[in-house]
Amino acid sequence: MSPYAHITGWGMCVPQRVVTNEDLSKQVDTSDEWIRERTGIRERHIAGAEESTATLATEAALNALRVANLSPDEVDLIVVSTSSPEHIFPATACLVQDRIGATKAGAFDLLAACSGFIYALNMASQAIRSGSVKNVLVIGSDTLSRLTDWEDRNTCVLFGDGAGAFVLQAGEELGGVVSAVMRSDGSGGDSLSVPAGGSRLPASAETVLNRQHYIHMNGREVYRFATRVMVQATKEAVGKADLTLDDIQLVIPHQANQRILEAALRGLDIPPERCISNVERYGNTSTASIPIAACEAIQQGRLQSGDWIVFVGFGAGLTWGAAVVKWTGPFLPHREIYPASYRAWIKLRSSLLRWLRRVEGWIWGRKFPEI
């Protein structure tokens, strides 16, 4: 019998700096009333100069490992879902792997925009169910503030930065990720995009002048798409799990816009008290929004072991998806994970490996020409 992929650890990290609607009203032609009426957002966290997608992902990952009581060197795979990677390559997941000391883990990035965490959760679950891995770290991390046009009031009010992470572990009992749905429609790709910076439109003076490295969005198209597919995906995932909506204790949706959440709940005929919403305090943190909301649900006592929950989201691509999860909790007994001395050792180890590669290159470079 294939093992189940249980969620045994969770963690989040958001930047210290908070930008309110009043702050934005000093930069662009907007107001707190205008923003809250259209989005439900009051404030968002914005990364500072020393913060990035990788630094936020690292802290969220360590927090999740502490909850799971799992040592970094026990992790088999790291999947980072992000639309704002540290670099085109190397993968942000590889940077996280190095910074947490996951010496036995493979690592890669996944790009499915705001749906990415659900995609990553499903891929990690299938890897566990296949028997190829036992412990997987799934991270959603984005700093969309770096891709935001702060002169465009229609988009700059929406996004915030943050990271959330889950630890998935193999277990024989029914639980964890029970079903999932992943869908896409590339015909709507231009509804939400960053036009330049890839191979189609490499960076140039022209693309910078035309502000093509920022987020471009057709808000009306995205709204209609989102409210439709969130209902469809939720119903489909619940049906695949042989459950009904009455069996679901909690829905944790992608936190894009309060109006979208309310419309989706009406379509599902689910009361607000069975849904998590924190978009007011974080804005749209993209792929990080679902795990951040899950962490807050646990802190508030709204998510308990044994509960049936649905994660559902949508994003650029266009992409959308949902997952039905039976919540579990930590497998392992409490132990001290990642003390300060271990963190210092990891930094030393990383520096030593870099030094050894340079020495190796110098020795072999005398015999072979440079590539």
| Whether 93 contacts 123, CB under 8 Å | no
How many C-beta neighbours within 10 Å does residue 304 have?
Answer: 12
Residue 205 predicted with pLDDT over 80:
yes
- Model pLDDT, residue 334: 79
- Using CA atoms, how far apart are residues 290 and 277, in angstroms rounded to an integer? 10
- Tokens 């039976």 found at: 326
Look at residues 238, 303, 304 and name the one whose alpha carbon lies nearest to residue 270. Answer: 238
Q: Cα–Cα distance between 348 and 110 in angstroms, integer?
A: 29
Encode pLDDT of 233-265 as tens digits. 999 999 999 999 999 999 999 999 999 999 999
| pLDDT tens per residue across span 92-108 | 999 999 999 999 999 99
First to last CA, the chain: 49
pLDDT at position 263 is 97
- Can you give the pLDDT at residue 345? 87
Q: Which residues lie across from 44 on neighbouring strands?
A: 19
In tens, the pLDDT along 327-343 reads 999 998 877 776 556 78
Residue 371 scores a pLDDT above 80? no
Q: Answer for the pair 77, 137: CB distance below 8 angstroms, yes or no.
A: yes
Q: What is the pLDDT of residue 364?
A: 76
pLDDT digits (tens, 9 = 90+) for 276-297: 999 999 999 999 999 999 999 9
For the domain 4-326, what is the CATH superfamily, name and number? Answer: Thiolase/Chalcone synthase (3.40.47.10)
Query: What percentage of the chain has pLDDT greater than the value 90?
Result: 91
pLDDT value at residue 71: 93
Going from N- to C-terminal start, the domains of the chain cover 4-326, 339-371
* Mean pLDDT of all residues in 309-319: 98
Which residues have a catalytic role annotated? 114, 254, 284
Q: Which residue has the tokens 């979208």?
A: 260
- pLDDT reading at 89 higher than 80: yes
Q: Average pLDDT, whole number, for the chain? A: 96
pLDDT at 172 over 60: yes
360 confidence band (pLDDT: 50, 70, 90)? confident
Q: Which two tokens stand for residue 167?
A: 């630890």
Range 24-30 average pLDDT: 97
10: pLDDT strictly greater than 90: yes
Structure tokens at 88: 């085109």
Provide the pLDDT for residue 369.
60
Dihedral angle sign, alpha carbons of residues 38, 39, 40, 41: negative
pLDDT tens profile 175-194: 999 999 999 999 999 999 99
> How confident is the model at residue 362, as a pLDDT?
83
